[in-house]
Amino acid sequence: MQGQGLLKGLGVTMKNFVRPVHTVQYPDRKVGLLGAAKRAGVSPFRFFADNPREGLKALLFIATVPERVQQAPRFRGNEFTWYEDRCTGCASCAKYCPLGIIKIVTHPGGIDVQEGESYAIDVFDIDIGRCMFCGLCVEACPYDALHMGSQFERGNYVRNDLVIDIEQLRSNLKRPSSWFRPQFEERKFDPFKGETVDDHYKAGRHEQPSPDELKERWVDGRK
């Protein structure tokens, strides 16, 4: 039949035209008056009365509202979470990095001398401009001091600004990814809700056991 291919093509177009949209208009989503009012938690009439300028933009469908991308707890963002109290300066993360993007400079710190003396860390730089986020550095850390992060909005126009230095690692909010850390998921930790893990004893495999856990392990378990 002449023109059958055209009809098939139009059928595919119409089928996708009525399907739900999966594209996310990140970071802002354009909405109409109903969408803007729903975001503000008020009725459309109230929204227009309180914000006539935004209400007019909403009527023209050019008003915008912030849009967040749905992320999995194990998402590996382009940042890192570092717990300085756990870090001994052993540089295992730098040694295992296949791209050599981690730079660590230390000196004898006189810390925990009886246990073998930890190093004081002078430089801890991570060049995320060359990082492939494989997570081998996180797996290699013997003390769970380094974690993959959960944020990703670090794009800029200067390559040198992609280097995360020790001051940024110290000041970053402790919102680690649950990648390679299944205990985070067991505790229902969600970094995308603004939750943090500031207590380093709850940040990895080497958590400090509670007295009840010690009793169960060393007393009850040997009965």
Q: Is pLDDT at 129 greater than 70 in this prediction?
A: yes
Q: What mean pLDDT is reported for the chain? A: 84
Are residues 103 and 125 in contact, defined by beta-carbon separation less than 8 angstroms? yes
For residue 15, being part of any structural domain is answered with no
Q: Is pLDDT at 117 greater than 60 in this prediction?
A: yes
Q: In whole angstroms, give the CA distance from residue 49 to residue 44.
A: 9
167 and 87: one domain?
yes
Among 6-20, 84-98, 101-115, 141-155, the least confident range = 101-115
The identity of residue 126, as a single letter, is: I
β-bridge pairing 163-164 and 102-111: unpaired
Using pLDDT thresholds of 50, 70 and 90, give the confidence band for residue 200.
Answer: very low
49 and 100: one domain?
no
62 and 93: one domain?
no
β-bridge pairing 102-111 and 63-66: unpaired
Q: What is the pLDDT of residues 165-176, one digit of tens each?
A: 999 999 988 889
The identity of residue 13, as a single letter, is: T
Q: Is the peptide bond before 211 cis (omega within 30 degrees of 0)?
A: no
For residue 158, being part of any structural domain is answered with yes
Q: In whole angstroms, give the CA distance from residue 85 to residue 206.
A: 13
Number of domains, the chain: 2
For residue 210, being part of any structural domain is answered with no
Are residues 170 and 125 in contact, defined by beta-carbon separation less than 8 angstroms? no
Q: Is 150 exposed, middle or buried (0-12, 13-18, 19+ CB in 10 A)?
A: buried
92 and 184: one domain?
yes
**Domain limits at 161?**
80-202
163 and 96: one domain?
yes
Q: What is the pLDDT of residues 39-88, one digit of tens each?
A: 888 888 888 888 888 888 888 888 888 887 778 888 898 889 999 888 88
β-bridge pairing 163-164 and 118-127: antiparallel
* Cβ atoms within 10 Å of 159's Cβ, excluding its own: 10
For residue 197, being part of any structural domain is answered with yes
Q: In whole angstroms, give the CA distance from residue 66 to residue 120.
A: 42
> What integer is the mean pLDDT of 170-188?
85
CA angle 24, 27, 30 (to 5 degrees): 70
Are residues 141 and 200 in contact, defined by beta-carbon separation less than 8 angstroms? no
This model's pTM is above 0.75:
no
Using pLDDT thresholds of 50, 70 and 90, give the confidence band for residue 140.
Answer: very high
Report the range out of 74-83, 181-190, 191-200 with the highest average pLDDT: 74-83
Distances (CA, A) of 104 to 82, 84, 154, 166: 13, 13, 22, 9
